[in-house]
């Protein structure tokens, strides 16, 4: 610069003074706000990063709340399950409360049945208590209701003195009925039934041809077969249309005489030979009560016992017709005296549907975001490993459906069956062997169900532990996130104050310089 | 030596006057030390000498000067520093205005340090940032426990979020409107500056004509120009203007300074001021397409109501969103239009035309397009003759000398005697010599005149014989003829010769559409050569500026108002600014916020409207039966699965295809229609059971999910009244109420989608809001990420502009200081001047006293 002018120097000074003041102000703001930056413009990268960290913190805090909630629900579940566990087979030393296991054992070992009725009541009460425990709530939510937390999960309906347990409206014992199938996989249906009815697998069957071979019989006015008592001690049925073939002894003699021309002794001998072809029957007819002998050709009569044995081997409907079905082209009749051998299509499908529902409900999932990296695939379907399945289904613990023996797998149902069996034995009487064996078998099933319960209980405990660990992890994350953005945002006060003091020092220095600029001029020295 | 009795008084008086002037100027400088724009002045002082020298003056009579004269008072300015100052001032103006605008945007959107989170006892989580997370928190609670109470909490949080969107959008809109006002104010201020400068030019011109330098007016003009240079990048040109009588005055012109990066674009150099003529800036008006300049009843502009006007300020705006500007005609204070005429002469050098000139036999027409010259008259050869005289019987003799041009030849030496006396021989000799002289070579045939044996003829061989200058015509003179008998006669023109006469073409007048300049072309012969005469008549006309034709704070304001970044249309990039995609103004942030709000609303509306599904996700009818597609013999449709080819074909056959807003089918990259399952589900005949309802609407008293922006996003009417609630699931398991399938009470898989949506990576596509946008992907990420991106972009733009501003401002201060070093008043300087003039005045006064004493002694006290 060739020439420095008053205005130029002042302008330059003013600009520099302003700069010093701006820096001083910025340093002061830094100290006052205790923040390294106060806008994105000051440090866009750090600002964006802190907002990401803060967003993560808020997200984690929210997940922590959910995790905490689920954790406490699981803790509540644990308490319930622990109680149930104690009711099933763990003696509560403090209260001496009976358990299912101890009660059933007592019943099995009570041959005289003195305490059976009381024990039965205990059994019933215990099973009801178990259900009450499984219907506990956490807050407004039923703990073991799966995804229907606002409605009580287990309900008991009593019909004809029999209690049936329902889970969310589905009978817990529902199972797919086993039905007979042809080799082509089609279900075997009951012939001639009004609605499609399936034949249960495993029933006894009789080839229809065997029964169908029985002859038609003469019947009385009631439709009952006419029975003929043979002098040989057998009872016979008369084949249809042969009733008129009955003859008397005199008739026979005349026939033989006419045929042979014999008379006398010879005729009597020939008559005896002829009688051998007939069944001799006797009829006592009032008022004389004379024993009237009659003769039926042997071919016209059927031995009642033999006939009945075949005829009664099959189940019959109200019309007396046997229940028939065809398996792979062969017609069969259902063998007699079988329990519940058929199932209607409607009932079958309802059972299938119920079984399917039970299966679904037992494996029902309800995921919540507890900070496992919630994510969905490209079709919007949740990636299950990224969320926590907080669903607790009571079915999983108490069991559902039927086993291969047709026995229920649900603890409550088993107990109710035990109760019903025991109730069927008159008070004070001994067990009969089949009943005892059935009771014993079911006690074994109760043991199995109890074992499964413990397994599920253990799994639930592991879930509780996982939640606790996750909770701790989330807490740590929040702390770490706070620390991270604090490192980015918050000033080091020592640095900030030093910078501020330096800026203030510079500003003061600039002010002093200004004083000297304004005071010095040649004008001041003119005389 | 003679001394005029009162000369010394004059010297003293002039000295006093000069010193007084000096003191006045110094005082003026000191007084104006704080006057904005003041340029220091100084006197132009010369030594004065009266009288004249004459031939007969005494050698001893030494003339002494008669004192000092103040010839002028000047300003001291450095034009180069002015140019630099104004260039840098435009940079400062641009960066400063842009920075201020961006800072205002940041003041609205930047949430650093804002917000208090009572649940975490944390400060600085932001507002909209934190509200999105608050909504996520409420959604998680709802998902965990899908109750009415939690639904209401989500809705309340959503209402707050909408409020933030509305608030930010409202503030941005207010900023936009304020910036529009600022833009209009700046245009007004620029026009005031232009008017002031034009009027000052006139006043200064008038002053100059009357001999006044008008320094103060110049200061004011410079101040106005400096002010203008902050708004617009300008170029200032000083020229001399003839005012008649061989007198000139200074003329100041101001142009836009070529800021458009396109070198072919010249509207960015348009004239704003030319001496006493000045233009105005206006928003680009809607013009009357039928306007006829020559029809007095025709009006040039269209008003909003469709009527016409000649007042541009009342005209409707053409493309108002782009804030285009137009420069008005240059007019003087009496509204008379500027007109400039320049005439240029250019010799025709077209080879076609020249060939035609030489070759007269080429035919009727020749030359190069578009200027078709025609032969009007053929050229004729010139023939010059020299009488070859000795008289009969006399001959050249050895020793005689003659010259051809300047070269001398001696008979007997260069020219054999026999040759010299033989006309044919002499002609051949001369021809040979001429061929060695570049002036004559190939121009002449030399031969004896067959009709006059004593004459040698020089016939021009070139066609444009008429154009041969005299200096190139051969000249033969006898330089030495001792006998005095020999001579060459004077050169005689036997045949004058003439050029071919061509008819020049007629060139149509041309009008430059950009500048309106008329160009008239004619041809004329000057000194025998054809010249193209180009007359350019510049008419002042309105110049519509392009997007990048200006620079400075006005352009910064324009860019704040118009630039949309990735939302710029393809047409804008193609036709207006190829860099439009990377420039972001207020509208970019408005549209980004709108896109965020739209995305948010669309996604949640989409999640909350669906169709009943079975437990496996297959769509079902009210009876719980799976829907088949096609309906007869088709397969079930899974909400989370892909459609089979048959299903897609069935949808397309049924007309269920994606359509645009006009209802036309949208096609994929292969030109195939895109099946639209939702349209199929929407048709109640297909049996789907619709569930849920819209959560967000474009007004809170409606349930209209279309056209949602940040300004209008609201919780829908039905959600507000409870008619619609969040849909926790679309999956019906096996519950029914009153014959209607209902979900189980805490099923919440759909609510989990809602939770997931908060962090879901989504593509933010500008074409959603601007169908013709140049980019189809602004950002990919979460809602928070999108808002973060807006702030980061703004922050980075602020940093960049801040840096530019600091650099430019430092330069400006430096240049201003330098300028002040030249033009500013310095107290030390003025103190020195003051002392100097004081001393000078004291000395002059003292001189006067001395002279007075001397004269007093001489007149009164000298003894007679």
* pLDDT tens, residue by residue, A36-83: 888 899 899 999 999 999 999 999 999 999 999 999 999 999 999 998
CA distance B301 to B289: 9
Mean pLDDT, rounded, for A116-143: 87
Helices (H) and strands (E) in chain A, counts: 13, 17
Nearest by CB: A382 against B145, B746, B752 = B752
Contact yes or no for A335/A205 (Cβ under 8 A): yes
pLDDT at B3 over 60: no
In the numeric block, the tokens 């080839």 are attached to: A207
Nearest by CB: A380 against B120, B734, B753 = B753
pLDDT at A510 over 50: yes
B:825-854 residues touching chain A, CB 8 A cutoff = 825-829, 831-832, 834-835
A375 touches chain B (CB under 8 A): yes
CA distance B579 to B862: 94
pLDDT at B287 over 80: yes
pLDDT tens sequence across B783-813:
999 999 999 999 999 999 999 999 999 899 8
Lowest mean pLDDT among A246-250, B291-295, B391-395, B700-704: B391-395
Residues in chain B, how many? 864
- pLDDT of B368 reads 47
B110 touches chain A (CB under 8 A): yes
- pLDDT of B363 reads 44
pLDDT tens sequence across B51-78:
666 666 666 666 777 888 988 888 888 8
Task: Look at A149 and B746 and tell me if their CB atoms are within 8 Å.
Answer: yes
A29 touches chain B (CB under 8 A): no
Best residue in B41, B743, B745 for a mutation probing chain A (most A CBs within 10 Å): B745
**B854/B91: higher pLDDT:** B91
Mean pLDDT, rounded, for B663-669: 88
- pLDDT of A358 reads 92
**B343/B458: higher pLDDT:** B343
pLDDT at A222 over 50: yes
Residue of B nearest to A490 (CA): B113
- What percent of chain B clears pLDDT 90, i.e. is strictly above it? 45
A522 touches chain B (CB under 8 A): yes
* A395 chain-B contacts, CB cut-off 8 A: none
Residue B353: which pLDDT band, with cuts at 50, 70 and 90?
low
CA distance A401 to A399: 7
Residues 6+ apart with CB under 8 A from B134: A58, B157, B160, B161
- pLDDT of B717 reads 95
What is the end-to-end Cα distance of chain A in Å, rounded? 30
Helices (H) and strands (E) in chain B, counts: 17, 38
pLDDT at B465 over 70: no
B:748-767 residues touching chain A, CB 8 A cutoff = 748-749, 752-753, 755-756, 758-760
Residue B494 backbone phi and psi in degrees, to 5: -80, -50
Residue of B nearest to A10 (CA): B817
Smallest Cα distance from A363 to chain B, Å = 12
pLDDT at B290 over 60: yes
The rounded Cα B396 to chain-centroid distance in angstroms is 80
Contact yes or no for B265/B251 (Cβ under 8 A): no
Task: Look at A70 and B792 and tell me if their CB atoms are within 8 Å.
Answer: no
Contact yes or no for A370/A404 (Cβ under 8 A): no
- pLDDT of B619 reads 93
- pLDDT of B393 reads 58
- pLDDT of B500 reads 63
pLDDT tens sequence across B403-457:
777 788 888 888 888 887 777 787 788 878 877 777 777 777 777 777 776 677 7
The rounded Cα A502 to chain-centroid distance in angstroms is 76
Task: Look at A148 and B744 and tell me if their CB atoms are within 8 Å.
Answer: yes
Lowest mean pLDDT among A476-485, B191-200, B396-405: B396-405
**B163/B353: higher pLDDT:** B163
* B145 chain-A contacts, CB cut-off 8 A: 139-141, 149
Nearest by CB: B125 against A45, A58, A148 = A58
- pLDDT of B364 reads 40
Tell me which H or E stretch contains A224: none
Mean pLDDT, rounded, for A234-261: 88
Mean residue pLDDT of chain A comes to 87
Nearest by CB: A7 against B33, B122, B792 = B33
pTM over 0.80: no
Task: Look at B826 and A5 and tell me if their CB atoms are within 8 Å.
Answer: yes
Task: Look at A39 and B795 and tell me if their CB atoms are within 8 Å.
Answer: yes
- What percent of chain A clears pLDDT 70, i.e. is strictly above it? 95
pLDDT tens sequence across B476-519:
776 666 665 555 556 666 676 666 667 777 788 888 776 667 88
Output the DSSP codes for B612-647.
Answer: -B-TTSBBB-TTSPBPEESTTT-EE-BTTSPPPHHH
A524 touches chain B (CB under 8 A): no
- pLDDT of A346 reads 92
Residue B309: which pLDDT band, with cuts at 50, 70 and 90?
very high
- pLDDT of A152 reads 93
pLDDT at A95 over 60: no
* A3 chain-B contacts, CB cut-off 8 A: 821-822, 826, 829
A7 touches chain B (CB under 8 A): yes
Residue A421: which pLDDT band, with cuts at 50, 70 and 90?
confident
Lowest mean pLDDT among A249-258, B529-538, B794-803: B529-538
Mean pLDDT, rounded, for A345-360: 92
- pLDDT of B157 reads 95
A47 touches chain B (CB under 8 A): yes
A523 touches chain B (CB under 8 A): yes
A379 touches chain B (CB under 8 A): yes
- pLDDT of B512 reads 78
Q: Buried b / exposed e across A367-395, counting CB within 10 Å, b at 16+?
A: bbbbbbebebeeeeebeeeebbebbbbbb
Count CB atoms within 10 A of the CB of residue B626.
17
Lowest mean pLDDT among B55-64, B297-306, B705-714: B55-64
Contact yes or no for B136/B157 (Cβ under 8 A): no
- pLDDT of A110 reads 73
* Residue B1 CB-density burial (10 A; 0-12 exposed, 13-18 middle, 19+ buried): exposed
Contact yes or no for A280/A249 (Cβ under 8 A): no
- pLDDT of A525 reads 74
Contact yes or no for B230/B93 (Cβ under 8 A): yes
Mean pLDDT, rounded, for B137-164: 94
Residue B237 backbone phi and psi in degrees, to 5: -125, 130
In this structure, what is the dihedral angle of CA atoms B661, B664, B665, B670, given to the nearest 10 degrees? -100
Task: Look at A150 and B745 and tell me if their CB atoms are within 8 Å.
Answer: yes
Count CB atoms within 10 A of the CB of residue A423.
16
- pLDDT of B1 reads 40
The residues pairing with B271 across neighbouring beta strands, listed in sequence order, are B255
Contact yes or no for B337/B276 (Cβ under 8 A): no
User: Strands B339-347 and B529-539: what pairing?
Assistant: antiparallel
In the numeric block, the tokens 């009932």 are attached to: A347
pLDDT tens sequence across A466-501:
999 999 999 999 999 999 999 998 888 999 999 999
B78 touches chain A (CB under 8 A): no
pLDDT tens sequence across A270-305:
888 888 888 888 776 666 556 677 888 988 889 999
Task: Look at A148 and B747 and tell me if their CB atoms are within 8 Å.
Answer: yes
Contact pairs from chain A to chain B, CB under 8 Å: 221
- pLDDT of A49 reads 93
Mean pLDDT, rounded, for B562-586: 92
Nearest by CB: B831 against A357, A387, A526 = A526
Nearest by CB: A380 against B134, B640, B746 = B640
B733 touches chain A (CB under 8 A): yes
pLDDT tens sequence across A369-392:
999 999 988 888 889 999 999 999
Q: Where are the alpha helices (DSSP H) in B359-494?
A: 417-420, 423-434
CA distance B277 to B516: 17
pLDDT tens sequence across A157-172:
988 888 899 999 899 9
CA distance A118 to A120: 5
Residue B169's Cβ-side half-sphere holds a number of Cα atoms within 13 Å equal to: 21
Encoded tokens for B385: 């003759």
Tell me which H or E stretch contains B183: helix B148-209
Task: Look at A147 and B760 and tell me if their CB atoms are within 8 Å.
Answer: no
Count CB atoms within 10 A of the CB of residue A16.
15
- pLDDT of B136 reads 94
- pLDDT of B656 reads 93
Task: Look at B821 and A4 and tell me if their CB atoms are within 8 Å.
Answer: yes
Residue B603 backbone phi and psi in degrees, to 5: -65, -45
In this structure, what is the dihedral angle of CA atoms B189, B195, B201, B202, given to the nearest 10 degrees? -160
Mean residue pLDDT of chain B comes to 85
> Distances from the Cα of A445 to the Cαs of A170, A412, A459, B111, B686, in angstroms?
21, 11, 21, 66, 50
A13 touches chain B (CB under 8 A): no
Mean pLDDT, rounded, for A83-101: 73
Nearest by CB: B140 against A39, A66, A168 = A66
- pLDDT of B28 reads 92
pLDDT at B610 over 90: yes
Output the DSSP codes for B113-180.
Answer: T--EETTTTEE---SHHHHHHHHHHHHHHHHHS--HHHHHHHHHHHHHHHHHHHHHHHHHHHHHHHHH
DSSP classification of residue B391: P
In the numeric block, the tokens 């003696």 are attached to: A91
Mean pLDDT, rounded, for A180-208: 89
The residues pairing with B476 across neighbouring beta strands, listed in sequence order, are B404
**B97/B524: higher pLDDT:** B97
Contact yes or no for B90/B84 (Cβ under 8 A): no
- pLDDT of B366 reads 43
């Amino acid at each position: 610069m060739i020439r420095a002018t008053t205005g130029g120097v002042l302008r330059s000074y003013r600009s520099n003074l302003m700069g010093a003041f701006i820096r001083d102000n910025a340093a002061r703001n830094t100290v006052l706000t205790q923040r390294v930056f106060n806008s994105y413009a000051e440090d866009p990268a750090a600002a964006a990063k802190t907002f990401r960290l803060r967003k993560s913190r808020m997200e984690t805090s929210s997940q922590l709340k959910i995790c905490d909630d689920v954790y406490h629900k699981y803790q509540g579940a644990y308490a319930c399950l622990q109680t149930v566990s104690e009711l099933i087979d763990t003696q509560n030393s403090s209260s001496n409360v009976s358990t299912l296991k101890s009660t059933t054992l007592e019943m099995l070992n009570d041959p005289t049945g003195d305490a059976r009725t009381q024990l039965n009541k205990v059994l019933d009460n215990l099973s009801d208590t178990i259900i009450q425990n499984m219907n506990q709530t956490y807050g407004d939510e039923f703990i073991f209701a799966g995804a229907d937390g606002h409605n009580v999960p287990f309900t008991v309906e009593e019909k004809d003195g029999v209690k049936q347990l329902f889970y969310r409206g589905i009978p817990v014992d529902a199972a797919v009925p086993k039905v007979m199938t042809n080799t082509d996989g089609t279900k075997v249906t009951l012939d001639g039934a009004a609605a499609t009815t399936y034949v249960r697998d495993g029933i006894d069957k009789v080839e229809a041809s065997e029964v169908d071979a029985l002859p038609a019989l003469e019947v009385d006015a009631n439709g009952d077969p006419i029975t003929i008592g043979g002098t040989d001690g057998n009872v016979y049925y008369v084949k249809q249309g042969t009733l008129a073939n009955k003859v008397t002894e005199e008739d026979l003699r005349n026939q033989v005489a006419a045929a042979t021309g014999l008379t006398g002794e010879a005729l009597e001998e020939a008559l005896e030979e002829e009688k051998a072809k007939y069944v001799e029957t006797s009829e006592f007819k009032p008022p004389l009560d004379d024993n009237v002998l009659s003769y039926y050709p042997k071919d016209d009569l059927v031995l009642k016992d033999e006939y009945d044995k075949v005829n009664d081997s099959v189940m019959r409907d109200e019309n007396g017709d046997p229940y028939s079905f065809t398996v792979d082209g062969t017609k069969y009749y259902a063998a007699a005296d079988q329990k519940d051998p058929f199932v209607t299509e409607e009932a079958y499908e309802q059972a299938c549907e119920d079984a399917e529902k039970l299966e679904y409900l037992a494996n029902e999932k309800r995921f919540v975001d507890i900070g496992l990296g919630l994510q969905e695939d490209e079709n919007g379907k949740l990636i299950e490993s990224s969320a926590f399945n907080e669903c607790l289904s009571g079915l999983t613990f108490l069991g559902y459906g039927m086993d291969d023996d047709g026995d229920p797998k649900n603890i409550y149902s088993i107990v109710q069956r035990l109760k019903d069996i025991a109730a069927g034995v008159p008070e004070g009487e001994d067990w009969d062997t089949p009943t005892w064996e059935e009771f014993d078998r079911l006690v074994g099933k109760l043991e199995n169900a109890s074992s499964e319960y413990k397994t599920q209980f253990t799994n639930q405990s592991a879930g509780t532990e996982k939640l606790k660990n996750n909770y701790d992890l989330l807490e740590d994350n929040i702390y770490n996130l706070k620390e991270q953005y604090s490192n980015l945002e918050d000033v080091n006060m020592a640095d900030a104050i030093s910078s501020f003091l330096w800026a203030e020092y510079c500003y003061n220095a600039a002010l002093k310089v200004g004083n000297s600029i304004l005071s010095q001029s040649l004008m001041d020295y003119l005389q | 030596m003679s001394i005029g009795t009162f000369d010394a008084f004059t010297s003293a008086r002039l000295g006093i006057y000069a010193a007084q002037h000096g003191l006045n100027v110094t005082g003026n400088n000191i007084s104006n030390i704080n006057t904005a724009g003041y340029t220091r002045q100084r006197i132009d002082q010369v030594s004065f000498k009266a009288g004249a020298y004459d031939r007969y003056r005494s050698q001893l009579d030494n003339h002494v000067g008669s004192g000092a004269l103040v010839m002028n008072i000047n300003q001291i300015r450095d034009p180069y520093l002015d140019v630099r100052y104004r260039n840098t001032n435009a940079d400062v103006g641009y960066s400063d205005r842009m920075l201020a605008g961006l800072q205002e945007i940041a003041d609205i959107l930047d949430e650093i340090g804002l917000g208090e989170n009572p649940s975490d006892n944390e400060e600085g989580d932001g507002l909209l940032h934190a509200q999105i997370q608050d909504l996520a928190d409420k959604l998680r609670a709802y998902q965990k426990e899908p109750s009415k109470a939690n639904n209401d909490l989500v809705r309340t949080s959503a209402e707050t979020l909408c409020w933030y969107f509305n608030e930010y959008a409202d503030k941005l809109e207010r900023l936009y409107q304020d910036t529009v006002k600022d833009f209009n104010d700046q245009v007004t201020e620029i026009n005031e500056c232009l008017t002031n400068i034009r009027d000052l030019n006139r006043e200064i011109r008038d002053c100059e004509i009357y001999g006044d330098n008008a320094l103060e007016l110049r200061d004011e003009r410079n101040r106005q120009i400096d002010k203008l240079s902050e708004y617009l990048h300008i170029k200032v040109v000083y020229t001399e203007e003839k005012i008649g009588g061989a007198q000139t005055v200074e003329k100041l012109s101001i142009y836009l300074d070529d800021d458009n990066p396109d070198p072919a674009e010249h509207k960015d150099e348009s004239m704003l001021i030319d001496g006493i003529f000045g233009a105005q800036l206006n928003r680009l008006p809607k013009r009357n397409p039928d306007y006829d300049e020559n029809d007095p009843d025709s009006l040039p502009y269209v008003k909003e109501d469709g009527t016409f006007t000649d007042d541009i300020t009342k005209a409707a705006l053409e493309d108002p969103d782009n804030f285009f500007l137009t420069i008005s005609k240059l007019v003087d204070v009496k509204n008379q239009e500027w007109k400039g005429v320049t005439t240029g002469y250019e010799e025709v050098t077209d080879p076609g035309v020249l060939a035609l000139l030489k070759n007269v036999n080429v035919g009727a027409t020749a030359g190069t397009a578009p200027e078709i010259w025609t032969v009007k008259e053929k050229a004729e050869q010139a023939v010059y003759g020299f009488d070859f005289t000795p008289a009969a019987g006399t001959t050249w003799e050895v020793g005689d000398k003659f010259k051809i041009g300047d070269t001398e030849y001696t008979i007997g030496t260069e020219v054999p005697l026999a040759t010299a006396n033989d006309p044919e021989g002499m002609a051949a000799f001369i021809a040979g010599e001429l061929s060695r002289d570049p002036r004559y070579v190939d121009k002449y045939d030399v031969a004896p005149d067959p009709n006059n044996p004593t004459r040698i003829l020089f016939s021009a061989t070139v066609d444009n014989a008429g154009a041969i200058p005299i200096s190139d015509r051969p000249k033969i003179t006898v330089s030495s003829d001792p006998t005095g008998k020999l001579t060459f006669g004077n050169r005689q023109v036997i045949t004058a010769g003439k050029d071919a006469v061509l008819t020049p073409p007629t060139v149509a007048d041309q009008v430059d559409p950009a500048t309106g300049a008329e160009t008239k072309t004619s041809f004329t012969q000057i000194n025998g050569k054809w010249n193209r005469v180009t007359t350019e008549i510049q008419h002042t006309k309105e110049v519509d500026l392009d997007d990048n034709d200006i620079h400075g704070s006005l352009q910064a304001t324009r860019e704040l108002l118009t630039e949309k970044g990735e939302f710029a249309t393809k047409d804008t990039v193609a036709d207006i600014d190829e860099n439009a995609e990377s420039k972001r103004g207020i509208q970019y942030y408005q549209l980004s916020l709108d896109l965020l709000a739209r995305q948010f609303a669309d996604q949640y509306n989409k999640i909350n409207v669906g169709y009943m599904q079975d437990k496996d996700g297959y769509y079902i009818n009210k009876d719980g039966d799976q829907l088949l597609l096609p309906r007869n013999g088709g397969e079930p449709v899974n909400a989370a699965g892909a459609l089979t080819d048959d299903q897609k074909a069935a949808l397309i056959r049924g007309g269920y295809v994606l359509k645009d807003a006009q209802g036309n089918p949208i096609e994929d990259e292969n030109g195939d229609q895109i099946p639209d399952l939702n349209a199929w589900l929407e048709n109640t005949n297909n049996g789907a059971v619709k569930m849920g309802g819209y959560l967000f609407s474009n007004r809170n008293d409606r349930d209209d999910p279309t056209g949602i922006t940040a300004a209008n996003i609201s919780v829908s009417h039905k959600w507000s009244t409870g008619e619609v609630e969040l849909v926790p699931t679309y999956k019906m398991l096996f519950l029914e109420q009153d014959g209607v399938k209902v979900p189980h009470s805490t099923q919440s898989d759909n609510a989990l989608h809602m939770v997931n949506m908060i962090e879901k990576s989504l593509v933010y596509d500008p074409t959603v809001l601007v169908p013709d946008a140049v980019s189809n992907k602004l950002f990919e990420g979460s809602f928070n990420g999108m808002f973060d991106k807006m702030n980061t972009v703004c922050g980075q733009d602020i940093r960049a502009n801040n840096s530019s501003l600091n650099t430019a401002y430092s330069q400006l201060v430096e240049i201003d200081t330098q300028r002040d070093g030249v033009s500013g008043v310095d107290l030390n300087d003025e103190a020195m001047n003051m002392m100097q003039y004081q001393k000078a005045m004291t000395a002059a006064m003292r001189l006067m006293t001395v002279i007075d004493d001397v004269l007093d002694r001489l007149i009164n006290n000298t003894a007679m």
